[in-house]
Amino acid sequence: MMSKTIYFCAGWFTDKQNKTYQAAMTAIKQNPTIDVENSYVPLQHQYKNIRVDEHPEYLHDKEWATATFKGDCLGVTTTDATLAVYIPDEEDVGMGTEIAWAKAHGKYVLLVIPDEEWGKPINLMSWGFADNAIKMSELASFNFNQPSFNFYEGAVY
């Protein structure tokens, strides 16, 4: 079966984000339409392998910030689609930028929302740039070879 590369857009700064990140990572590894090995996972591409959640002193390092930003932009533009693991009550400004960057480059954008968060209001701009939104429980079987459009069933603010 043919598979697609994805830009794996997900936060990892809170316990809730980490739990959701791991659930999504498990699901994509089970999805035969995703080429996980050649996909771009930002956490695996931090400049010089420096994670600012483990080394906050780098939050002020312009070299780290510039290189990590440029690497992530490259990740969005060189993959087939963007998968954004979206937690409605922990919205990430960076994720909004990555979603917009992906859409500006003609990439398919899929929001993946944890089942227990499904239906909660989401940001208008994230909603507007997304081509589809699915529950986390649907991710392992979502067919990236046949991307589809659909509306998010929850409210938008």
CATH class, 6-141 region: alpha beta
Structural tokens at position 55: 């080394």
The pLDDT of residue 2 is above 90: no
Query: What is the model's pTM?
Result: 0.95
Instruction: Name the residue ranges covered by the structural domains of the chain.
Output: 6-141
pLDDT at 1 over 80: no
7-33 residue pLDDT tens: 999 999 899 999 999 999 999 999 999
pLDDT digits 0-9 by tens, 96-140: 999 999 999 999 999 999 999 999 999 999 999 999 999 999 999
CB atoms within 10 A of CB 24: 21
Catalytic residues: 98
